[in-house]
Amino acid sequence: SQPNVYVTRPDVDDSGLELLRKSCNVSTWSQPLPVPRDELLRQVKGKDALYCALTDKIDAAVLDAAGTQLKCVATISVGFEHIDVEECKKRGIRVGYTPDVLTDATAELTLALLLATNRRLFEASKQVYNGGWKSWAPMWMCGQGLKNSRVGLYGFGRIGQEIAARIVPFKPAQITYTTRTARPAEAAKVNARRVDFDEMLCLSDFIVVCCSLTPDTKEVFNASAFEKMKPNCIFINTARGGNVDQNALYDALHSKRILAAGLDVTTPEPLPLDDPLLKLDNIVILPHIGSADIETRKEMSRITARNILAALNGCQMEAEVM
């Protein structure tokens, strides 16, 4: 009989589901919001593969509920901190994800946030609608350009390198990066210099978080980190909300300890409407749309499906968490 695959969303691009339907029984959660935990625990039982998203927590309890038939968990995301990979390994369950395909889209969105914050796009646009725009004025709505600025990247993996490549044409004074891995060849391509965390915090006009979320990177941007930043610093995060102590970020923005922030990720997601961050005017917040480019999301759906098919056939996956 055909393998059974459970898909935690009804709304992934159908081209991926079509690939699965050729050789598998595919069932999907039917609602637009993430599958409730108890429903996931029920549905995963007896499945051979689980097609999930970053909104699903895949832990030992889910794997236990699945039973011994489960061979693969594939997420339609590059981040996989929502999956307990160690527990999967223990059970011989392979884990697939979607790196590479979303690198350009995410780098592009990061540049959009850099430009939106430094040139105050949303704040300025509001003035057009609320009557704040009285006349052209020489020093009104001015920001600091990327030109001649120092940009610090926290993380210099696939996405960080593409962000750097897109910043170069804006003629920064210096791009620096902080990572565990040196990556000198990649750094040379964009003339970036590796610095330690404190140096990046103290010298940067822009700080961009583009690392994965691990125990080492959890809340590295805390009160002491914001304390070291320059008062004109603009803080951008397109990685994970968990990389930041959000209360400390709020304090830094509210007290004007730093100039502004641009976030595509928050804790939690969605951000409650009464969250204090929403009352600040020196912040731009987007609803986690880093990879939300149509062709990118379609290909992410197909890669997730192909990862599952490969695992079910005992073949090499296109992208497997090792």
CB of 260 within 8 A of CB of 235? yes
- Can residue 90 be called a binding residue for ligand GLV (CB under 6 A)? no
By CB under 6 A, name the one of 5, 19, 54, 70 that touches ligand GLV. 54
3-state secondary structure of 199: helix
**Does 160 participate in binding ligand GLV (rule CB under 6 A)?**
yes
Stretch near ligand GLV under the rule CB under 6 A, chosen from 64-72, 75-83, 108-116, 276-284:
75-83
| Separation between Cα atoms, residue 183 and residue 192, nearest integer Å | 10
Q: Does 3 bind ligand GLV (CB under 6 A)?
A: no
Rounded Cα gap, residues 220 and 42, in angstroms: 37
Report if residue 79 touches ligand GLV, rule: CB under 6 A: yes
Q: Which amino acid is at 270?
A: P
Stretch that binds ligand GLV, among 29-37, 138-146, 152-160, 273-281 (CB under 6 A): 152-160
Using CB under 6 A, which of 180, 189, 256, 279 touches ligand GLV? 180
Helices 294-312 & 14-21, crossing angle to 10 degrees?
A: 20
- The answer to the question of residue 285 lying near ligand GLV (CB under 6 A) is no
Minimum CB separation of residue 242 from ligand GLV in Å reads 11
CB of 150 to ligand GLV, least distance (A): 19
Question: Residue 118, Cα to own-chain centre: how many angstroms?
Answer: 21
Pairing of strands 192-194, 25-28: unpaired
Which residue's CB is nearer to ligand GLV, number 187 or number 252?
Answer: 187
241 part of the interface to ligand GLV, by CB under 6 A: no
Stretch 120-149 residues interacting with ligand GLV (CB under 6 A): none
**Alpha helical stretches, state H, 204-322:** 223-228, 246-254, 294-312
Is 130 exposed, middle or buried (CB count within 10 Å of its CB: 0-12, 13-18, 19+)? exposed
Q: Would you count residue 179 as binding ligand GLV (CB under 6 A)?
A: yes
Catalytic residue among 288, 297, 302, 306: 288
Question: CB of residue 156 vs ligand GLV: minimum separation in angstroms?
Answer: 4
Query: Can residue 37 be called a binding residue for ligand GLV (CB under 6 A)?
Result: no
Known active-site residue 288: yes
Instruction: Indicate whether 96 belongs to the interface with ligand GLV (CB under 6 A).
Output: no
Beta bridge partners of 113: none
For ligand GLV, the binding residues in 184-203 under the rule CB under 6 A are: none
Ranges of beta strands (E only) in the chain are: 4-7, 25-28, 49-52, 72-75, 94-96, 150-154, 174-178, 192-194, 206-209, 234-237, 260-263, 283-285
**Cis ω for the linkage preceding 270 (within 30 of 0):** yes
To ligand GLV, the closest distance from the beta carbon of 276 in angstroms equals 24
Size of the residue set binding ligand GLV (CB under 6 A): 15
Residue 118 burial by CB count (10 A; 0-12/13-18/19+): exposed, middle or buried?
A: buried
Side by side, the strands of the sheet bearing 4-7 are: 25-28, 4-7, 49-52, 72-75, 94-96
Q: How does 279-296 read in b/e, with b if 16+ C-beta sit within 10 Å?
A: eeeebbbbebebbebeeb
Q: Which stretch binds ligand GLV (CB under 6 A): 74-82, 168-176, 199-207, 222-230?
A: 74-82
Any contact of residue 70 with ligand GLV (CB under 6 A)?
no
Question: Should residue 157 be labelled a site residue for ligand GLV when binding is judged by CB under 6 A?
Answer: yes
> Is residue 235 a contact residue for ligand GLV (CB under 6 A)?
no
Question: Residue 78 Cβ, how far from ligand GLV at the closest point, in Å?
Answer: 4
Catalytic residues: 288
Site of interaction with ligand GLV (CB under 6 A): 54, 77-79, 102, 155-157, 160, 179-181, 211, 290-291
